[in-house]
Structures are given as C-alpha cells and as structure tokens.
Amino acid sequence: MLNTFGVLVVDDNQGTLDVVSRALEARGIRVRTATSVFRALEALHDGSPRPALIITDLIMPQTNGWDFLKHLRGEPLLRSLPTIVITGGEPGDVEGLADAVLQKPIDLAELTDTVQSLVRARSEPPG
C-alpha cells in the first residue's frame, strides 16, 4: 500500500527536505519536495497525480505554512488531503487546518508512523 501513494513535503530548509525524504523513501513512500508554498501549489496543479498527504513547515519566507494550510482547506479538490505540520516553534492553534503537528528536530520514526496512520485512516471505509 505505501508504495502506491506520494507525499508532498514543503520546507524552505533543504536539509529538512533531504532528511524527511530519505526517511519516507526508506519506507517505500514516493516523495515530492517543494522549497516554498508557491512551488508546492505549482506541484499540486501541474497535472501530476495528487499526493495522498502533505507535510509542511510553518515558518517560511514569502508565504508561510499557515496561509498554505488555509488555501488547502479552501480548495474543494485539496481540502480532504491529510496534512502534517513540522515546526521548530510554537505551532499555535492548528485545529481544522492540520491533522498532526510534529516538533523539530523531527523524530523520524514518529513521522513515518504518523504518515502511515493518517493515510491508512483516510483509505479505510467509514465504519
């Protein structure tokens, strides 16, 4: 199941993108990365298959992760995508915007477990 979906990781720090990508790819998860919200939006609208989950940092230059999450929740085709926030600061109130919040430095086992759990929950029929 895990090799049949992709994750979009959005962070302005290339080191974080590399670490997260390697951890997910080691579990058989396809990963796309974006170094800004603008690049993430391009990736979501370029005709490629839509990811099953999005991981985003909150603090980024130009447009931040908060605005990105609000945009996702306002777009009918994207609002149901599960999202994980990764942040080194205080995330604040992410109720309704993110499905999970993980603190930096990232615990990679917790990250991969959270990704698998959220994707599994979204793929199970309602009971």
Question: Would the pTM count as exceeding 0.85?
Answer: yes
In a domain, 127, yes or no: no
Domain of 86: which CATH number? Answer: 3.40.50.2300
In a domain, 126, yes or no: no
- Mean pLDDT, rounded, for 23-31: 93
In a domain, 64, yes or no: yes
Count of structural domains within the chain: 1
Q: What is the pLDDT of residue 55?
A: 97
In a domain, 59, yes or no: yes
pLDDT digits (tens, 9 = 90+) for 73-96: 999 989 999 999 998 877 676 767
- Mean pLDDT, rounded, for 53-68: 89
Domain that holds residue 106: 2-120
In a domain, 60, yes or no: yes
Reduced DSSP (H G I as helix, E B as strand, rest coil) percent helix, strand, coil of the chain, to 5: 40, 20, 40
In a domain, 28, yes or no: yes
In a domain, 19, yes or no: yes
Q: Report the helix count and the strand count for the chain, using DSSP H and E.
A: 4, 5
In a domain, 125, yes or no: no
Residue 109: Cβ within 10 Å count: 9
Q: What is the pLDDT of residue 33?
A: 96
